[in-house]
Amino acid sequence: MKFLMLLLIMISFVVISGCTEKSDSSRNENVEIISQGLAYPAYLAEPTGAGKMPAIVLIHSFNGLEPGYKNISDNMANDGYIVISPEWQTFNKTPADEVVGGLISDSVAYLKAKPNVDMNRLGLTGFCAGGRYTMLFLPQMTQFRSGVAWYGFPYSGGFMNQSKPEDFIGQLKAPMLMIHGTHDAPSPISDIYRYATALNATGKYFELKVYQGRPHGFMIENGSLSRSFEARDAYNEMVGFFNRTLTE
């Protein structure tokens, strides 16, 4: 009996130690991105290890930089990625595309100034409106080697009815993963299939992961990171895609 209790204590210690090591493998802080003369708050999460690492610019949804997006950033840091998440709605809830594009470019410049960032392994990801920005700017910003668009809007001109992501299909060179749900009302899955068909017709490399029954924004529930099977699986799909496309 004493041996069994000792064994259970040892197992518990190993489990607890493993969890602690996982949380200690990354750090995070609030920083500022200067863009067009304005200081935008941003969330930075990065591994604690030495050496140069791949980096991701993460663009949050229309609902702001909710805690769930910080959780995603922290998880990606634990998986070996430096992640910068700028709050693009700081000065305007519905900014023009060029404002957001400038902020993304300045976020890249911020990463470039960090000695631990491998600029040859840079990715872009975004959710909802951020998914549209990923579709829109991935073809236009050649510094990104790949991108993941979460429930984006390929046929939307944005808040000011400007350019649509479909307009830039011909410029797309980087691989793109699209993640979507079949019950997405704001961005119908039919639009994603149509966009995928257009990408395919022009020979652009993409991957598409569709979750049956999932609504728009299924990764975040009430501001927090969802613990559903679909959310966990979708996260792994994103990280796996970046692991494959952001190779040295």
Quick check: 166 pLDDT over 80? yes
Find the DSSP H helices in the chain: 2-23, 67-78, 97-112, 129-137, 189-201, 229-245
Model confidence band, residue 248 (pLDDT cutoffs 50, 70, 90): low
The CATH class that applies to domain 28-245 reads: alpha beta
C-alpha distance from residue 12 to each of 1, 2, 25, 66, 89 (Å): 17, 15, 20, 33, 44
The four Cα atoms 161, 217, 142, 107 give a dihedral, to 10 degrees, of 90
Domain ranges of the chain: 28-245
Q: For residue 37, give both structure tokens.
A: 């003369």
* Pairwise CA distance, residues 67 & 107, whole Å: 20
Model confidence band, residue 50 (pLDDT cutoffs 50, 70, 90): confident
Q: For residue 181, give both structure tokens.
A: 């749900």
Dump pLDDT digits (tens) for 123-136. 999 999 999 999 99
* Pairwise CA distance, residues 246 & 248, whole Å: 7
- pLDDT more than 90, % of the chain: 89
- Would the pTM of this model clear 0.85, i.e. be above it? yes
Q: Select from 146, 58, 174 the least CA-distant residue to 110.
A: 58
Model confidence band, residue 23 (pLDDT cutoffs 50, 70, 90): low
Residue 28's DSSP bridge partners are: 45
- pLDDT more than 70, % of the chain: 90
Dump pLDDT digits (tens) for 55-92. 999 999 999 999 999 999 999 999 999 999 999 999 99
Q: Average pLDDT, stretch 9-24?
A: 37
* Pairwise CA distance, residues 90 & 40, whole Å: 6
